[in-house]
């Protein structure tokens, strides 16, 4: 591609709206443009990177025996009623009606549509196993679309669905996908980990997430330094603490204490001469529409996905402080479970405390000597707190490490949840009707591009891994007025292109400085400079974007050198 003819609107300024580096560089590099909140156009370079990822995904899915299809993005509400998710899915599902007042939604995922296909088209065990996938635009009305391609409302996903005769066969399908995912993310040049994960609103019994390690990741993963345990903190189980052995009858009675202006756990603890772990924190959440109270020890944090799972609701969000009085007439900073008229969920650790300090539900007041189980009774008790590096590995008791990650892929064992709800069956070898055992497997194709940039950049711009770079080589012509230079640059460009490489030829009438800057910004792995040196000695300069290594060589050697370096980097 000739740069002079390419829509590649790079900019120097960092856009104010972009908080993370991938978003900044994708905008500055002319890869994407925002249409509206969480919805982007992929300009040529952006779309090329997306297509590189798409091709890798497609090759590995096909190699793993999956078949590509394309399902509609618009889905009838009836199917979602059948699966039970019309009510359960929550506001991320964008619902609308057609002119006949029939319900529809934009597909955030396709379990319903694919199960409908399976029940109509797959009848016999002889047709199984089947794995169908698509690469397609999804819509989720995310509550906080942000970070550009990382969390869009409209984004590109690869979603695959497996149908098997029984659990054992379904496990094989799952394993095949797990292996394919390792290959895909390795081939994309990413540093990633597979972790045990929560199944979320998709449902199912077991799942793994593939996480790209990056500081800006919205997910936190916990890994054991001694064994292979790795999990999303949303899932990471904490062993129950030892039960409290104090004799309830010997414990002192509750006592109210004045704590004026002390809304924070640390201040209350300091004031009362105790430590934060002697205080119980009461946090309010909106669970679907109901306000609930979650209790954790003062030095702990609530893990909202665990809370959501224990409550069995679709959505849990913190109740904003400014809404607390309006919703429940209780004073922020002084909340406590004693005589509280809300559904209370207590962390298992709270119930193991002999006594604790809590808010008194009266401004400026706390209560001492509160005995969990004696002075309040939670509706639910369980593991609802965030795991920490002080906890030990649930598998081997080893030391844990927390790391930030970006979820680029997610695989689920679904079981028969959807096939039972939607009556999707096949006939086994004895003629019995059986429900399909399903699995589903997603990859955030557009998010992969953003994640790759989060992991591979420097102060000058993107450093694309070769396999997903929009172009593999950029040729800078620094002598537009010199016929020999132009001829050499043109010839190299055409030769590489004829060999099937993706080459950007910077033939613009621009200062060398801006050509170098743009080449760095858009992250092309190999840069060939043809300029004064060539005019003098016939040499060209090749620079590797990732290492900064620069080599000068005779023009005649360039093609072979580039070929070798590109081919090596494509696994
Ligand atoms: P998240 O926890 O990040 O919201 P999810 O668990 O809802 O993700 P899945 O339903 O498993 O996501 O979707 C499959 C894949 O689609 C994810 O692994 C992720 O890479 C991608 N994805 C999900 N939501 C978005 C989004 N809003 N923008 C871009 N990619 C997304
Ligand atoms: Mg999500």
Q: Find out whether the beta carbon of 308 lies less than 6 Å from any atom of ligand 1.
A: no
In a domain, 3, yes or no: no
Are the C-beta atoms of 399 and 301 separated by less than 8 Å? no
Residue 215 sits in a domain of what CATH number? 3.30.930.10
Residue nearest to atom 6 of ligand 1 (CA): 200
Inside any domain, residue 387: no
**Mean pLDDT on 391-399:** 91
> Is 90 exceeded by the pLDDT of residue 413?
yes
409 lines ligand 1 (CB under 6 A): yes
Question: Is residue 45 situated within a structural domain?
Answer: yes
Report whether pLDDT(330) > 60.
yes
Q: Which of 157, 159, 414, 453 to mutate to test the pocket of ligand 1 (most atoms within 8 A of CB)?
A: 157
pLDDT tens digits for range 506-550: 999 999 999 999 999 999 999 999 999 999 999 999 999 999 999
Going from the Cα of 140 to the center of ligand 2, the distance in angstroms, rounded, reads 8
Position 206 scores a pLDDT of 80
Q: Is the CB of 465 under 6 A from ligand 1?
A: no
pLDDT surpasses 80 at 205: no
Q: Does residue 417 share a domain with residue 373? A: no
- Whether residues 143 and 274 share a domain: the answer is no
pLDDT band at 202 (very low <50, low <70, confident <90, very high): low
51 domain residue, yes or no:
yes
Structural domain contains residue 1? no
Closest ligand to Cα 450:
1
Q: Which ligand is nearest to the CA of 153?
A: 1
Query: Looking at the structure, do residues 29 and 161 belong to the same domain, yes or no?
Result: yes
For the residues 264-284, what does the mean pLDDT come to? 96
Question: What pLDDT, in 10s, does the model give residues 209-240?
Answer: 999 999 999 999 999 999 989 999 999 989 88
203 lines ligand 1 (CB under 6 A): no
pLDDT of 246 higher than 90 = no
Does the Cβ of 385 fall within 6 Å of ligand 1? no
Q: Is there a domain that residue 5 lies in?
A: no
**Does 279 lie in the same domain as 186?**
no
Q: Within this chain, do residues 326 and 438 fall inside the same structural domain, yes or no?
A: no
User: Quick one: 233 and 268 in the same domain?
Assistant: no
Q: Atom 21 (ligand 1): residue with closest C-alpha?
A: 444
What pLDDT, on a 0 to 100 scale, did the predictor assign at position 200? Answer: 66
* Eight-state DSSP code of residue 103: E
State which of 146, 210, 447, 448 you would mutate to test the pocket of ligand 1, scoring each by most atoms of that ligand within 8 A of its C-beta: 447
What is the CA 228 to chain-centroid distance, rounded?
Answer: 21
Q: What does the alpha-carbon distance between residue 306 and residue 316 come to, in Å, rounded to a whole number?
A: 10
Residue 140 Cβ inside 6 Å of ligand 1? The answer reads yes
208 and 314: one domain? no
- Say which ligand is closest to the CA of 408: 1
- Two tokens, residue 142: 């995310």
Position 354 in a domain: yes
- The whole-chain average pLDDT of the chain stands at 95
Report percent pLDDT > 70 for the chain. Answer: 99
pLDDT in tens, 52-75: 999 999 999 999 999 999 999 999
Residue 243 domain-assigned? no
Q: Is the CB of 407 under 6 A from ligand 1?
A: yes
- Give the 3-state secondary structure of 166-221: CHHHHHHHHHHHHHHHHHHHHHCCCCEEEEECCCHHHCCCEEEEEEEECCCCCEEE
pLDDT of residue 41: 98
Residue 342 has pLDDT above 60, yes or no: yes
In 233-333, DSSP assigns E strands to 255-258, 280-287, 290-297, 316-318
Measured distance CA(569)–CA(111) in Å, rounded: 36
Among candidates 309, 296, 303, which has minimal Cα distance to 232? 303
Number of folded domains that form the chain: 3
Can you give the pLDDT at residue 314? Answer: 82
User: Per-residue pLDDT tens for 6-52?
Assistant: 999 999 999 999 999 999 999 999 999 999 999 999 999 999 999 99
Query: Model pTM?
Result: 0.90
Q: Which residues pair with 552 in a beta bridge?
A: 541
CATH of the domain at 513: 3.40.50.800
Query: How many angstroms separate the Cα of 362 from the Cα of each of 261, 340, 355, 460?
Result: 12, 11, 20, 55
173 with 322, same domain: the answer is no
Structure confidence at residue 316 (pLDDT) = 94
> Mind listing the pLDDT tens digit for each residue in 396-409?
999 999 999 999 99
pLDDT digits (tens, 9 = 90+) for 445-501: 999 999 999 999 999 999 999 999 999 999 999 999 999 999 999 999 999 999 999
Looking at the structure, tell me whether residues 263 and 220 fall in a common domain: no
Q: Are 73 and 139 in contact (CB under 8 A)?
A: yes
Q: Which atom of ligand 1 is nearest to the CA of 142?
A: 27
Query: Structural domain of residue 288, as residue ranges?
Result: 248-382
**Pair (372, 308) in one structural domain:** yes
Contact 459, 432 (CB under 8 A): no
Strand partners, 372: 376
Residue-level pLDDT at 201: 58
Which ligand ends up closest to the CA of 149? 1
The helix (H) or strand (E) run that includes residue 554 is: strand 550-554
Is 322 found in the same domain as 182?
no
Task: Determine the Cα–Cα distance for residues 188 and 276; give it in Å rounded to an integer.
Answer: 45
Question: Residue 204 pLDDT > 80, yes or no?
Answer: no
Give the pairing of strands 67-68 and 95-97: unpaired
The closest ligand to the CA of 441 turns out to be 1
CATH of the domain at 287: 3.90.960.10
**CA of residue 554 to ligand 2 center, whole Å:** 52
Residues 261 and 224 in one domain: no
């Amino acid at each position: 591609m000739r740069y002079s003819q390419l829509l590649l609107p790079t900019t120097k300024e960092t856009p104010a709206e972009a908080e993370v580096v991938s978003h900044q560089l994708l905008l500055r590099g002319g890869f994407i443009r925002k249409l509206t909140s969480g919805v982007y156009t992929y300009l040529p370079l952006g779309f090329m990177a997306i297509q590189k990822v798409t091709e890798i995904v497609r090759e590995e899915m096909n190699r793993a025996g999956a078949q590509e299809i394309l399902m509609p993005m618009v889905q009838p509400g009836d199917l979602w009623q059948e699966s039970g998710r019309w009510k359960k899915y929550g506001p991320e599902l964008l619902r609308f009606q057609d002119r006949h007042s029939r319900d529809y939604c934009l597909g955030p995922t396709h379990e319903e549509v694919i199960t409908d296909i399976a029940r109509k088209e797959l009848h016999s065990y002889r047709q199984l196993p089947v794995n169908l996938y698509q690469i397609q635009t999804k819509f989720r009305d995310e509550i906080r679309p942000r970070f550009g391609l990382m969390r869009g409302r409209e984004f590109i996903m690869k979603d695959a669905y497996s149908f098997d005769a029984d659990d054992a066969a379904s496990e094989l399908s799952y394993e095949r996908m797990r292996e394919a995912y390792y290959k895909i993310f390795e081939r994309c040049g990413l540093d990633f980990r597979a972790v045990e994960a929560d199944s979320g609103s998709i449902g199912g019994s077991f799942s793994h997430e593939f996480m790209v390690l990056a500081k800006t990741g919205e997910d936190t993963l916990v890994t054991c330094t001694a064994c292979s345990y790795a999990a999303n903190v949303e899932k990471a189980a904490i062993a129950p603490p030892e039960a409290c052995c104090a004799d309830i009858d010997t414990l002192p009675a509750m006592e109210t204490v004045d704590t004026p202006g002390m809304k924070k756990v640390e201040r209350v603890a300091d004031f009362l001469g105790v430590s934060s772990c002697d205080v119980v924190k009461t946090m309010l959440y909106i669970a679907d529409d109901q306000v609930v109270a979650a209790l954790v020890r003062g030095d702990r944090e609530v893990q909202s996905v665990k809370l959501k799972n224990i409550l069995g609701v679709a959505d849990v969000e913190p109740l904003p402080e400014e809404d607390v009085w309006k919703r429940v007439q209780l004073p922020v900073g002084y909340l406590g479970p004693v005589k509280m008229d809300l559904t209370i969920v207590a962390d298992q650790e709270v119930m193991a405390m002999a006594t604790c300090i809590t808010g008194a539900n009266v401004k400026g007041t706390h209560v001492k000597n509160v005995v969990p189980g004696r002075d309040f009774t939670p509706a639910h008790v369980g593991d609802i707190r965030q795991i920490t590096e002080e906890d030990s590995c649930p598998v081997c008791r080893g030391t844990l490490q927390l790391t930030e990650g970006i979820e680029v892929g997610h695989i689920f064992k679904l079981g028969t949840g959807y096939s039972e709800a939607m009556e999707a069956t096949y006939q086994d070898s004895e003629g019995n009707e059986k429900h399909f055992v399903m699995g589903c497997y997603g990859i955030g194709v557009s998010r992969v591009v953003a994640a790759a940039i989060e992991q591979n950049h420097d102060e000058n711009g993107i450093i694309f891994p070769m396999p997903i770079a929009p172009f593999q080589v950029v040729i800078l012509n620094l002598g537009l007025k010199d016929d020999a230079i132009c001829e050499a640059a043109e010839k190299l460009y055409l030769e590489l292109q004829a060999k099937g490489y993706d080459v950007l030829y910077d033939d613009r009438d621009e200062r060398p400085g801006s050509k170098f800057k743009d080449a760095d910004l858009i992250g092309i792995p190999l840069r060939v400079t043809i300029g004064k040196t060539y005019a003098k000695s016939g040499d060209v300069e090749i620079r590797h974007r990732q290492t900064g290594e620069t080599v000068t060589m005779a023009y005649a050697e360039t093609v072979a050198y580039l070929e070798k370096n590109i081919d090596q980097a494509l696994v």
